[in-house]
Structure 1
Amino acid sequence: MNNWFKFLYLSVFLFFTSGRAQETLTIGEKQTLFSKILNEKREIWIHLPKTYNDTTITPAKYPVIYLLDGEINFEYFTGMTDFIARTPYADIPECIVVGIKNTERTRDLTPTKSQKKSPVNPDVTLFADSGGSENFVKFLQDELKPMISKNYRTQEYSILVGHSFGGLFAINTFLTHPEYFKAYVANDPSLWWDNKVTISRTKDYVEKNKKFPAGKSLYVSQADNEEQQKNWNSDMTQAIEEFKEIIEKNGSLNYKHSFFKGETHGTVSYPGNYEALKFIFKGFRTDIKQLAKNPKQLEADYKNLSEKLGAEFAPSEAYLNVVLTFMKTNDFKESEAYFMNMKNRYYPKK
């Protein structure tokens, strides 16, 4: 592991009467690591939550989101997660985002070797470098995740997010290694791949296992691709619909499918990821006004959320500080005392 340095920065200019000063707003860090499994260097982009380095609170652990196609999605995704995790309106907990930059995208994200011939030249096999997803998921599980856990304060809750071939990869990983991640997001997944091999695998999984593992979540978005329905995207649409029917008939999975009218294959990830995170963490948001009347509700809500997600979640110290400020400002003395006691229980000062 080497080449730690800051990147992806915006320059902001603060104007003073005496002149002009420049500061830097940083949204991430870059690391380069050599993968023995893939036999190549991989570039990883990492975004830390706003409270990660806050010295006024107890150091916390955070869920981790592994984001495929990092070079395309990282900038908007990190801003979005910060926005919907802001107190007191948070729909999700603050998360570490790990963007994975591509090298050989088709190789890494497809589950089988393509045999499809070019319609213009039958001597040419399309996607000739395909079929390496098992190696790539092994890289994620055995090399990348341990590296992130070693260097950052991580919670035992991780999400895999992908689009197109990345969505195909996310669903295939869910079927073959469901224990690797707690939640999976597939935006307009390329389930048409290799004569819909992943649809066949889904049917086989349901037939063999009857139920999906408890504590898992799967979100699938679908673009209407109105302008392109007569072309290759018609196969994509049909395959996603077939997958949806299989999953919904089974009924044992925390699953949601969203159709986005007016969105194309290239734009659906933005609204899809927003809805996906809110769906996965449904139940995380609390009403601070209601807590004034019923302070015990906060721990009850987090208990229900933890049971649903299959991991332990608790109110963050940052949020309890916001709650305490609200109670004090509005003179809810009994509730203020209750939450002060809760804060001391969860985050005792040494």
Structure 2
Amino acid sequence: MNNWFKILSLLAFSFFTLGKAQKKLTIGEKQTVFSKVLNENREVWVHLPKTYDDTTINPAKYPVIYLLDGENNFEYYAGLTDFIARTPYADIPECIVVGIKNTERTRDLTPTKSQKKSPVNPAVTLFADSGGSENFVKFIQEELKPFISKNYRAQEYSILVGHSFGGLFAINVLLAHPEYFNAYVANDPSLWWDNEVTISRTKDYLEKNKKFPAAKFLYVSQADNEEKQKNWNSDMTQAIEKFKGIVEKNGTLNYKHSFFEGETHGTVSYPGNYEALKFIFKGFRTDIKQLAKNPGSLETEYKTFSGKMNSEFNPSESYLNVILKFMKSNDFKESETYFINLKNKLYPKVK
């Protein structure tokens, strides 16, 4: 009897375990894009917003974040964007996140061919495969972006996010092709590269153009590298500070620099990316309680925000549903009527 009980218990446990195993939480999907520019397959990881497949609302388009070093950053970054985009406390709109996995990282992210010799063996050139960033950004702009737009509901607004060599890449794209993205994030960028060639390019850019393009954003984080008095960290710190001085003196770029005490080069991206998103989308959050008193302020605030971003943003249908629920549950009838009309205007029902 005891043996039969044990067998039945084991079968029951196995049944429930298998049942639970079928309910998976997924944060994204892998896609492969063949690049004619790079002559290779590139793997990208795509995270979609929580409302992307919500059949109770109209299909919407979302801003796209292109995240370099996808294999290192994708998992936490996807959760980060979902967390700070949750209503009614959203600091940013829901976004599609595209993590780009590396193949030849140094080749793709550096702007010039390295001539630096190994201190151990002068016959060896360090970073010998460097200098291919122009091809890589061409791949993103001409092949990856069209792929994302074709397969996903992508809004025109886009952000480029990089760390270290990726941060160096992001700043060089801003200088060479500022129109490619609306905002750029460079976490502890390797501006020491090739005798600070990017700093020289920044000076040349400003001498030629006098100012940065309107409505572009650049966020730079800097780590508190405890080893800054040793080896390359000292060069990195000095280069970032030089760049900061040039950009802040010019004063024409929507720019923020953050120094993170206690964070190293390897950890600074996490807090940096959080602060970067809040900086870029500053002004997006609205106060749902204030909307009860002044419902018209929602449209005014979004109009102001759209002007700042140089791109049209409207309150999402899911946020309007949250607002309507709040108005109804608190018996704000006039405000409820206002938001019903606004929802019908922005998201008319398909007959």
TM-score, structure 1 length as denominator?
0.94
CA 1:219–1:307 in 2, change beyond 3 Å: closer, same or farther? Answer: same
CA contact (8 A) 2:227 2:233 kept: no
In the alignment, the residues of structure 1 paired with residue 321 and residue 293 of structure 2 have an alpha-carbon distance, to the nearest angstrom, of 18
1:157 counterpart residue number: 157
Q: Distance in 2 between matches of 1:310 and 1:44?
A: 28
Please point out which of 16, 19, 26 is paired with 2:16: 19
The structure carrying a bigger helix percent of its residues is 2
- Distance, in Å, in 1 between the alignment partners of 2:229 and 2:30 is 39
Matched residues in 2 for 1:328 and 1:185: separation?
40
Task: Indicate yes or no: 2:324 matched with 1:328.
Answer: no
Matched residue type, 1:191: L
Aligned to 2:7: none
* Equivalent-residue separation in structure 2 for 1:299 and 1:131 (angstroms): 47
Kindly report which structure 2 residues correspond to 1:1-350, keeping only aligned pairs within 5 A, or say none: 19-20=16-17, 21-22=19-20, 23-350=23-350
Which residue identity is paired with 2:44?
I
CA distance in structure 2 between the aligned counterparts of 1:144 and 1:117, rounded to whole angstroms: 35
Any idea what the Cα deviations from partners look like across 1:203-247, whole Å, max 9, x if unmatched? Answer: 011111011111110000000101343221010000000000010
Does the 8 Å CA contact 2:228/2:237 hold for their aligned counterparts? no
Q: Report how far residue 89 of structure 1 moved.
A: 0.4
Aligned residues: 336
| Matching residue's letter, 2:113 | K
Q: What amino acid maps onto 1:147 in structure 2?
A: F
Partner residue in 2 for 1:6: none
Contact 2:45–2:98 (CA<8 Å) still a contact in 1? yes
CA distance in 2, matches of 1:229, 1:53: 51
CA deviations over 1:181-200 (Å, ceiling 9, x no partner): 00000000000000000000
Q: CA separation in 1, counterparts of 2:264 and 2:121?
A: 29
Cα separation, 2, equivalents of 1:19 and 1:162: 43
CA distance in 2, matches of 1:312, 1:19: 48
Aligned residue identity for 1:143:
E
Give the CA deviation at 1:91.
Answer: 0.3
Distance in 2 separating the partners of 1:138 and 1:115: 24
Return structure 1 stretches of 4+ with deviation > 6 angstroms. Answer: none
In structure 1, how many angstroms separate the alpha carbons of the residues matched to 2:296 and 2:244?
A: 39
The gaps in structure 1 that reach 5 residues or longer are 1-14
Task: After superposition, give the CA deviation of every residue in 1:279-327 in whole Å (9 maximum; x if it has no partner).
Answer: 0000000000011111111111111111111110000000000000000
Give TM-score, length-normalised by structure 2. 0.94
Check conservation: 2:114, 2:130, Cα contact below 8 A: yes
1:251-283 deviation line (CA, Å, top 9, x unaligned): 111110000000000000000000000000000
Residue 19 (structure 1) shift: 3.4
Q: Which shows bigger deviation, 103-112 or 223-232?
A: 223-232
CA distance in 2, matches of 1:200, 1:305: 34
Q: Is the 8 A contact 2:178 2:213 kept in 1?
A: yes
Spell out, residue by residue over 1:156-194, the C-alpha distance to the aligned partner (whole angstroms, 9 max, x if none).
100000000000000000000000000000000000000
CA contact (8 A) 2:113 2:131 kept: yes
For 1:199 and 1:317, how far apart are their aligned partners in 2?
44
Residue aligned with 1:229, SS: coil
Q: Distance in 2 between matches of 1:303 and 1:208?
A: 33
Instruction: Look up the SS of the partner of 1:38 in the other structure.
Output: coil
Larger radius of gyration: 2
